[in-house]
Structure 1
Amino acid sequence: MLVAFLRSVLFYAGYGLSVIVWGIVILVAAPWLEFPQRFRLVTLWNHFSLRWCRLACGVHYRVEGLQNLPTHGCVVVANHQSSWETIFLATLFPRLCVLLKRELLRIPFFGWALKMLNPIAIDRGNPRAALRQVIESGVQRLASDCSVLIFPEGTRVDAGEPLRFSRSAAQLAIQAGVEIVCVAHDAGKCWPARRFLKTPGVINVVVSAPLPSAGSDAGRLTRQAQDWIEQQLERFATQG
């Protein structure tokens, strides 16, 4: 326990310093760059954070299904267990727009840099307006060949807890006429939500084959995505 605590302290020291330093770099450089170059600049920090977590805390990961990654914009649906996947997924998809609560953009340095990635920042206190914004802004992002990341649970859910998916991702995919690509992971076992300690181990990640939205409805498409992710989580649990 003491070793895990010290490793976590080391991780957060480097992590926090990197947020400040890289946030300043991004704020200075990003306004002069087009979005593709800006995205690559910002996500250099994501790559650093994943490597630093591996070195400081012994958290590794393995990915299945890389052949399923599309070459065009899609709606990315992932389960939400920790902060790890928000960092990782931006390294997996080359042009990714994240749906998030607008309060995150107010965090000094981190939120300011995050704003440079043109996220869809919603007010969760107004669900009807939030859904309208997801559809309108999401269609615009997808039309510019960006992928849109949605965590349909709406908040972080501890590993082992049942999933409850909203239909917003499916509604967006149908409205925009694009596919859904699901990503399942068990990051919560190494980087638990709302907990300080990081646990050494290997995070499993698997990418689904694209789910077509044409001819489907939001309820059925949501069930498909949720069923697939739940099956992968069950498989991870049996693997240990």
Structure 2
Amino acid sequence: MKPLGTFFVFAYYVVGLVCRILHPTTVEGLENLPEHGALLCPNHSSNWDPLLVVLRLPINYRVHIMAKQELFRFKPLAWALRHVGAFPVSRGDNDIQAVKTAIQAIKGGDNLLIFPEGTVIRNGIGCKDGLPAHAKAGVAVIGVRTGATMIPVFVDGEKKLFHRTRIIFGKPYIPVYTGRHGTSEEMQKIADDILAEAYALGGQTVGGEPL
């Protein structure tokens, strides 16, 4: 296994310290994570989410993050992101290269974090502009084609400085589909289901109402 890079170790501890001060977290369900081959699927309500989730994983968990392409336009930031395992995806397009990178990460024995909603959902838990959040089928395609262990993850929606945020890792989700890769309808249902399971961990439905 490739050793951890010096920059990654530095960022993990230094950024982790800052995050623990600004946004302390409580975590549940780490025992549900497989040693490798996990596809982590959190709800997405804040730009802090990927940092808060990854920094609660063990330093040697080797997780890659699919991140929006816009973050990679500033070269110093792009360099830092790539050195901590992030790679860009063009939202709204069928980004084949991003899908290939995601598949290679899992098949190579590492883990992957993807937000099924594909964007930050700010206006209420599980809602955007008053409408229910919607999962992108790509997360299901990657999960099915790699045989990854799909893990729903809940992250509290409202982020307030110095207030604790809950992070809950759920039990593995088992996708159901026909044939080798399933139909497009089955992929969409799998994506919708795992997003619903992520919100359910926090006592929420996708539409934002409490269970």
Taking structure 2 as the reference length, what is the TM-score of the superposition? 0.78
Partner of 2:155: 185
1:72-221 alignment, distance < 5 Å:
72-93=36-57, 94-107=61-74, 109-124=76-91, 127-128=93-94, 130=95, 132-158=96-122, 159-160=124-125, 161=127, 162-186=132-156, 188-191=157-160, 198=161, 200-213=162-175, 215=177, 217-221=186-190
Residues 98, 120 of structure 1: 8 Å contact kept: yes
1:38-77 alignment, distance < 5 Å:
38=6, 39-53=8-22, 59-77=23-41
User: Per residue, is there more helix in 1 or in 2?
Assistant: 1
RMSD: 2.6
Unmatched segments (≥5 aa) in structure 2: 179-185
| Among candidates 183, 188, 197, match of residue 228 of structure 1 | 197
Alignment of 1:37 onto 2:1: no
Spell out, residue by residue over 1:73-125, the C-alpha distance to the aligned partner (whole angstroms, 9 max, x if none): 21111111112221122223421111112221233543321121342312235
Spell out, residue by residue over 1:131-187, the C-alpha distance to the aligned partner (whole angstroms, 9 max, x if none): x2233111111122111111121111123323211011111010111111111011x
Amino acid in the other structure paired with 2:114: I
Residues 75, 178 of structure 1: 8 Å contact kept: yes
Taking structure 1 as the reference length, what is the TM-score of the superposition? 0.69
- State which drifts further: 39-48 or 132-141: 39-48
Amino acid in the other structure paired with 1:37: G
Residues 174, 214 of structure 1: 8 Å contact kept: no
Q: State the number of aligned residues.
A: 190
Residues 67, 89 of structure 2: 8 Å contact kept: yes
Residues 114, 139 of structure 2: 8 Å contact kept: yes
**Whose Rg is larger?**
1
Q: 1:35: Cα distance to partner? A: 5.2
Q: Match of 2:121, SS?
A: coil
